[in-house]
Amino acid sequence: MKRKIMALLVALTVLLSATALGEEYQMNPDNEMNFGTLIINLLHAYEKPSDGDGQRIDAALETIRQVSAADYDLAFAIADQWRRVYLDAGFVLHIHRGEPQAAQLQQTALADSPAHAFVVLGYELKNGEMTDELKGRCDAAAAAARAFPSAIVVCSGGPTGKNNPMQHTEAGMMRDYLVTLGVDESRIYIDERAMSTVQNAINTFEILQAQGVESYTLVTSTYHQRWAQVVYRTMAEIYRQNRGYTAGIVENYSFDIEPSERYRRDDIMAARQLCAILKLSDETVEAMKQLY
């Protein structure tokens, strides 16, 4: 397992210069390795849980706090969401089973309100068209929208995929598909620029802020849900610090599908994107590998 994790962590470096954030975070340089240590501790706690995990995570957070209060707020957001979705055995994935309304969500404390949004994450187009997986995410979103008719729906995703000469966007096609499923177009807001989960997040917050949204439910695929929540919570804290606006994840709803081999390790994908968001250097990533 140690060798496998180390090999996977090597791939962290490929994202360090490839992610356009839209919102920059200026970490105190003295905290760079401290954030690396925190991420390793979070991975350890999920991969090889032990009695000392909580203390190690808290110690890493305290080290970051001693350097910078702003860095601590970001580190706390990362660790808190990771604990919620990866380490809490009580975390429940709400899964769309083909029902016309999202019955599982109706059994939660989620309230029907225009201050709530269902944020639907895109998936790469194939030959300029929606894949079955993207349609499945939209089917889930439509069921949620029917169950909570006051909430808005936000679709995010740009012109992705090879052989897309018309530059169709994920979000545009998702909106059109949702309309065919009976969702009123006036409830749907789209971001057609995002090319990654990180960009999905930051562009989504611009829409949520403009619409006065206070909370949101992420709608995506089952394997993507936890890692997307970590990314969204991280970017939400950066957005709060930069723009003074916050909205929280309160529920989840997912289209159930087995991931490809590339995405089977969603915790590693989350860690990769955290490293990219934090702009950790190659040297820090290399030092992180030595902690395993």
Which CATH code of 3.40.50.1220, 3.90.1150.10, 3.40.50.620, 3.40.50.300 fits the domain covering 95-257?
3.40.50.620
The percentage of the chain sitting over the pLDDT mark of 90, rounded to a whole number, equals: 78
Instruction: Residue 146: name the closest of 198, 205, 199, 106 by CA.
Output: 106
| Beta strand pairing call for 152-156 and 116-121 | parallel
Positive or negative, the Cα torsion across 274, 275, 276, 278? Answer: positive
DSSP helix/strand/coil, 261: helix
Q: What is the per-residue pLDDT across 63-95, written as a single tens digit (0 to 9) for each?
A: 999 999 999 999 999 999 999 999 999 999 999
The tens digit of pLDDT for each residue in 210-223 reads 999 999 999 999 99
Domain parsing of the chain, residue ranges: 2-91+267-290, 95-257
Residues with Cβ within 8 Å of residue 153, at least 6 apart in sequence: 117, 118, 120, 141, 145, 178, 183, 187, 188, 189
Q: Backbone dihedral region of 98: left (phi > 0), alpha (psi from -120 to 50 degrees) or beta?
A: left
**183 neighbors 144 (Cβ within 8 angstroms):** no
Q: Taking the complete model, does pTM exceed 0.85, yes or no?
A: yes
Specify the 3-state DSSP secondary structure of 221. strand
Cα angle, residue 92 at apex, residues 88 and 96 outer, rounded to 5°: 155
User: pLDDT tens digit string along 257-286?
Assistant: 999 888 889 999 999 999 999 999 888 888
| Stretch (H or E) spanning 239 | helix 222-243
- pLDDT band of residue 199 (cuts 50, 70, 90) is confident
- Judge contact between 280 and 16, C-beta under 8 A: yes
What are the pLDDT digits (tens) for 154-198? 998 899 988 998 999 999 999 999 999 999 999 999 999 888 778
Q: What whole-number distance in Å separates Cα of residue 199 and Cα of residue 239?
A: 12
